[in-house]
């Protein structure tokens, strides 16, 4: 599904965590709103571009970074079926664009990035 919405950095962060590492991220890292998961190499790339970034730890294939003043995020699922980019517009609001699999759409809804009105509008366009 083609995605193009405005969303908060916090909501997209929640989606990223849910989609990559929710089962094993430690509570202290999860509770810190400046911590983001990154995955480089094979099997889906997740990368955060920020004014200031510092690695805080790793678990499995995920590197946890503290990012301040985030301006761009690239997210690609392990399967490659979801390819999203978040780009800051102003403050912590950004534009999310790309292609999302059905599973990612479910996670985007669960994490308040998408709502039912967006899905209804998309459905109306295909009817």
* pLDDT tens sequence across 41-92: 777 899 999 999 999 999 988 999 999 999 999 999 999 999 999 999 999 9
Q: For residues 27 and 24, what is the distance between their CA atoms, to the nearest angstrom?
A: 9
Rg (CA), the chain: 14
Residue 115 has pLDDT above 90, yes or no: no
Q: Which pTM was predicted?
A: 0.90
Residue 13 has pLDDT above 90, yes or no: yes
Coil, strand or helix: which one is 22? coil
């Amino acid at each position: 599904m083609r995605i193009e919405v405005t969303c908060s950095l916090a909501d997209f962060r929640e989606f990223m965590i849910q989609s990559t590492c929710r089962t094993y991220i430690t509570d202290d890292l999860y509770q810190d709103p400046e911590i983001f998961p990154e995955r480089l190499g094979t099997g889906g790339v997740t990368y955060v571009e920020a004014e200031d970034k510092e690695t805080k730890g790793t678990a499995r294939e995920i590197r946890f970074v503290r990012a301040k003043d985030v301006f761009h995020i690239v997210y690609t699922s392990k399967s490659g079926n979801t390819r999203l980019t978040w780009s800051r517009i102003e403050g912590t609001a950004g534009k999310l664009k790309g292609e999302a699999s059905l599973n990612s759409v479910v996670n985007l809804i669960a994490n308040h990035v998408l709502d039912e009105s967006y899905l209804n509008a998309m459905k109306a366009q295909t009817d």
